[in-house]
Amino acid sequence: MSSLSESAASAASAFPTLVLKPREERRLQAGHLWIFSNEVDIAASPLTGFEPGDHVAVRSSGGRFLGYAYVNPRTLISARLVGRDPEQPPGKSLLVHRLRAALALRERLYPAPYYRLAYGEGDYLPGLVVDRYGDVLVAQLNTAGMDAMRADVQDALVEVAAPRAILWKNDSPMRLLEGLERRVDVALGEIPAMAVVPEGGVDFSVPLAGGQKTGWYFDQGANRALFAKHVLGARVLDVFSYAGGFGLQAKRAGATAVTCVDSSGTALAAAAASASASGLEVELIEGDGFDTLETFAAGRRRFDAIVLDPPAFIKRRKDHAKGLAAYRKINQLAMQLLDRDGFLMSCSCSYHLAPGELVDAVQRAARRHDRFAQLIAVGGQAADHPVHPAIDETRYLRAFLFRVTG
pLDDT, one tens digit per residue, over 188-207 is 999 999 999 999 999 999 99
Domain with CATH 3.40.50.150 in the chain: 201-405
**By three-state DSSP, how is residue 394 classified?**
helix
pLDDT, one tens digit per residue, over 279-333 is 999 999 999 999 999 999 999 999 999 999 999 999 999 999 999 999 999 999 9
Provide the pLDDT for residue 7: 61
Taking the domain 201-405, which CATH number applies?
Answer: 3.40.50.150
pLDDT, one tens digit per residue, over 84-106 is 999 999 999 999 999 999 999 99
Give the pLDDT band of residue 229 (cuts 50, 70, 90).
very high
27 C-beta neighbours (distance < 10 Å), count: 16
CATH class of this structure's domain 6-83: mainly beta
- Residues with a catalytic annotation lie at 349
Give the pLDDT band of residue 9 (cuts 50, 70, 90).
low
Give the pLDDT band of residue 132 (cuts 50, 70, 90).
very high
> Does the CA dihedral 263-240-199-250 come out positive or negative?
negative
Provide the pLDDT for residue 5: 66
pLDDT, one tens digit per residue, over 349-365 is 999 999 999 999 999 99
Please report, for residues 191, 209, 214, 235, 352, the alpha-carbon distance to residue 166 in angstroms, rounded to integers and kept in the order given: 7, 11, 12, 40, 32
Give the pLDDT band of residue 3 (cuts 50, 70, 90).
low
What is the model's pTM? 0.93
pLDDT, one tens digit per residue, over 135-161 is 999 999 999 999 999 999 999 999 999
Q: Tell me the fold of 92-188.
A: Transcription Regulator spoIIAA (3.30.750)
Provide the pLDDT for residue 12: 73
pLDDT, one tens digit per residue, over 362-396 is 999 999 999 999 999 999 999 999 999 999 999 99
Domain with CATH 2.30.130.10 in the chain: 6-83
Which H or E element spans position 308?
Answer: strand 303-308
User: How far apart (Å, rounded) are the C-alpha atoms in residues 395 and 275?
Assistant: 32
Residue 317 · residue 381 · CB < 8 Å:
no
Domain with CATH 3.30.750.80 in the chain: 92-188
Q: Is the pLDDT of residue 1 over 60?
A: no
The DSSP secondary structure of 231-297, one letter per residue, reads -TT-EEEEES-TTTHHHHHHHHTT-SEEEEEES-HHHHHHHHHHHHHHT---EEEES-HHHHHHHHH
Provide the pLDDT for residue 13: 81
Question: What phi and psi values does residue 130 have, to the nearest 5 degrees?
Answer: -135, 125
Give the pLDDT band of residue 6 (cuts 50, 70, 90).
low
